Amino acid sequence: MDKLLVDGGFPITGDIRISGAKNAALPALMASLLTSGSVQIGNIPHLQDITTTLEILQHLGAVVQVDEKLAIEVDASELRELRAPYELVRTMRASILVLGPLLSRFGEAEVSLPGGCAIGSRPVNLHIKGLEAMGAEIDIAGGYIRARVPQGRLKGAHIVFDTTTVTGTENLMMAATLADGVTVLDNAAREPEVADLADCLVSMGAIIEGAGSDVIRIKGVESLHDTVHHVIPDRIEAATYLVAAAVTGGRIRVRGIRPIFLDAVVNKLVEAGATVKNSNGGIELYMEGSHINSVDIRTAPFPAFPTDMQAQFVLLNAVSQGTATVTETIFDNRFMHVQELQRMGANIEIAGNTAIVHGVDHLSGAQVMATDLRASACLVLAGLVANGETVIDRIYHIDRGYESIEEKLAQCGARIRRLPSGISSSFQLPK
C-alpha cells in the first residue's frame, strides 16, 4: 500500500486550483441512469471514487467514455443488469445512489447493503422508507436491498426526513423525477452538492423547485434527455488547503471556488487568527506569525460547519494556543484521527461526541495510519506542521477524495511525496 512521507515545518504558500467536487460528481454520474440519452459530466475530479462509480455504471451495461479533459460521457440507453453487487458497493457507500434512478426508470433494482463504515453506522433506512412511500416494495435479503414497483411507476409522495440526509435527499430527488405526480421532500439536505444535482436533473428535463432549501418539490415527467453538466468545485478540498496554510503560518489562494459555500469554515479560520478575503473567484488566506487561537466547533448540516472538515479542525486546535471543544453531531464514530494525532504528541480527550483539544507547542513526526478520507487529510496537515518526518500509511483513503494532493501541496512549498508500496520508508525526501 502506498504511503505519504511529509517533512514538516514548511509554510504552505502559493496558489491551488480546486478540482470538481467528488460529492457532486458521484450523484451527477448516477443521474445518467435515468435516461436513454447521453449525459456528459464535466469538471470531474480524478479520484478513486469516480473510478468505482464508472465501474458500477459499466457493470450495469452503460457505455462510458472519458475525454482528455476528464469530461465523462455516459450512455445508459441499454442496460443489461439492474443489480449493483457487493464487491463494488462495499468500496463506496455512495453506490446506494443507483437505487433511486434504476427503480424509477425500470421499476426494479437490487443494490447490496453498504455494510460497515469507519465513521459510524450510516444506515440507509431513510432512502428505503422514502421509496416505499412512493410505492416501491422493498425486501432486504442476503445482504441485498431488492426493490420493485408493482404498479410499474413510482408515485409522487410527501416525504418528511427524520434526519437530514445528503445522499438520501439525492436518491429520492432522482427517483421523483420520473414518478407519477408531485413529490415533496421535507427536511431535505441543503448542501450545495444537492442543488448541483438538481441543476443537472433540470438540464435533463426534470421539474424541480426549491433545491438548496429544506423543501424540494419535484413534478415527475415521462422521460429525461441528453445533457452536458459541469459539477461545482469541491468546497471541502478548498477548505482543507486553507487550513493547511493556516496551521503552517502560510499564505494561500484557492482558485475556482464559490466562497459562499465556505462561509462557516472561513468564519472559524478568521476566529483562529487568519486574514481571509475573497479574490477573483477564489479565497486568499494569510496567517501572520504562528499564533493560532483555539476555536470551538460543532458540526451540523449545511450551511453550518461541515462534518467533512471536523478532523482538519481537530488538528488546527491541537496546535493552537488554548483549549477548544469539537463536537461531532452527524456521525457516531468520526474521531479515529484523534488516536493518531495523540501518537504525534497532541493532547486530546474524547468525551462522548466531543473532543476536548488542548493546544500543544509542537507535534512530532511519527508513523501514522489513515482510517478514512477526512482523517487522512487531517494527518497530512499534521505532518505539514509537525517537527520531523511523518509517514502516513493506507493513503488509498485520501485518493478517494483529494485529487493529486501531494502535487498540489508540493507546489506550495510542502516537502511531501508518495512512497509506492514495497519501498522502505527510510527513503530520503529531496532537499
The answer to whether residues 186 and 169 touch, using CB atoms and an 8 Å cutoff, is: no
Shortest Cβ 193–ligand EPU spacing (Å): 6
117 is an active site residue: yes
Output 274 or 395, the one with its CB closest to ligand EPU: 395
Output 227 or 371, the one with its CB closest to ligand EPU: 371
Total number of residues that touch ligand EPU (CB under 6 A): 25
User: Which of 46, 77, 115, 123 touches ligand EPU (CB under 6 A)?
Assistant: 123
Residue 390 interacts with ligand EPU (CB under 6 A): yes or no: no
Output 53 or 320, the one with its CB closest to ligand EPU: 53
Output 156 or 192, the one with its CB closest to ligand EPU: 192
Shortest Cβ 307–ligand EPU spacing (Å): 5
Shortest Cβ 182–ligand EPU spacing (Å): 22
Torsion sign, CA atoms 50, 179, 163, 271:
positive
Residue 318 interacts with ligand EPU (CB under 6 A): yes or no: no
Output 315 or 386, the one with its CB closest to ligand EPU: 315
Cell of 234: 469541491
Output 123 or 281, the one with its CB closest to ligand EPU: 123
Choice among 117, 200, 378, 412 that is catalytic: 117
Output 59 or 122, the one with its CB closest to ligand EPU: 122
Shortest Cβ 121–ligand EPU spacing (Å): 6
Strands 182-186 and 207-209, bridge-based pairing: unpaired
Shortest Cβ 173–ligand EPU spacing (Å): 12
Output 65 or 125, the one with its CB closest to ligand EPU: 125
Question: Segment contacting ligand EPU (CB under 6 A): 123-131, 152-160, 241-249, 284-292?
Answer: 123-131
Task: Report how far residue 244's alpha carbon sits from residue 292's, in angstroms, rounded to the nearest whole number.
Answer: 12
User: Which of 52, 95, 112, 167 touches ligand EPU (CB under 6 A)?
Assistant: 167
Shortest Cβ 136–ligand EPU spacing (Å): 15
User: Which of 17, 90, 122, 255 touches ligand EPU (CB under 6 A)?
Assistant: 122
Task: Report how far residue 10's alpha carbon sits from residue 105's, in angstroms, rounded to the nearest whole number.
Answer: 53
Question: Segment contacting ligand EPU (CB under 6 A): 33-41, 166-174, 227-235, 407-415?
Answer: 166-174
Residue 374 interacts with ligand EPU (CB under 6 A): yes or no: yes
Q: What is the x/- site pattern for ligand EPU, positions 129-158, by CB under 6 A?
A: ------------------------------
Beta bridge partners of 218: 183, 208
Beta bridge partners of 3: 419
Residue 115 interacts with ligand EPU (CB under 6 A): yes or no: no
User: Which of 401, 405, 406, 409 touches ligand EPU (CB under 6 A)?
Assistant: 401
Residue with cell 432486504: 140
Task: Report how far residue 345's alpha carbon sits from residue 362's, in angstroms, rounded to the nearest whole number.
Answer: 8
Residue 373 interacts with ligand EPU (CB under 6 A): yes or no: yes
- Binding to ligand EPU (CB under 6 A): which residues in 37-76? none
Residue 171 interacts with ligand EPU (CB under 6 A): yes or no: no
Task: Report how far residue 312's alpha carbon sits from residue 317's, in angstroms, rounded to the nearest whole number.
Answer: 9
User: Which of 95, 165, 320, 390 touches ligand EPU (CB under 6 A)?
Assistant: 165
Residue 198 interacts with ligand EPU (CB under 6 A): yes or no: no
SS3 readout for the chain = CCEEEEECCCCCEEEEECCECHHHHHHHHHHHHHCCCEEEEECCCCCHHHHHHHHHHHHHCCEEEECCCCCEEEECCCCCCCEECHHHHCCCHHHHHHHHHHHHHHCEEEEECCCCCCCCCCCCHHHHHHHHHCCCEEEEECCEEEEECCCCCCECCEEECCCCCHHHHHHHHHHHHCCECEEEEECCCCCHHHHHHHHHHHHCCCEEECECECEEEEECCCCCCCEEEECCECHHHHHHHHHHHHHCCCEEEEECCCHHHHHHHHHHHHHCCCEEEEECCEEEEECCCCCCECCCEEECCCCCECHHHHHHHHHHHHCCECEEEEECCCCCCCCHHHHHHHHCCCEEEEECCEEEEECCCCCECCEEECCCHHHHHHHHHHHHHCECEEEEECCHHHHCCCCCHHHHHHHCCCEEEEECCCCCCCCCCCC
User: Which of 10, 313, 331, 402 touches ligand EPU (CB under 6 A)?
Assistant: 331
- Binding to ligand EPU (CB under 6 A): which residues in 4-43? 23, 26
Catalytic center residues: 117
Interface residues with ligand EPU (CB under 6 A) are 23, 26, 93-94, 120, 122-127, 163, 165-168, 189, 193, 307-308, 330-331, 373-374, 401
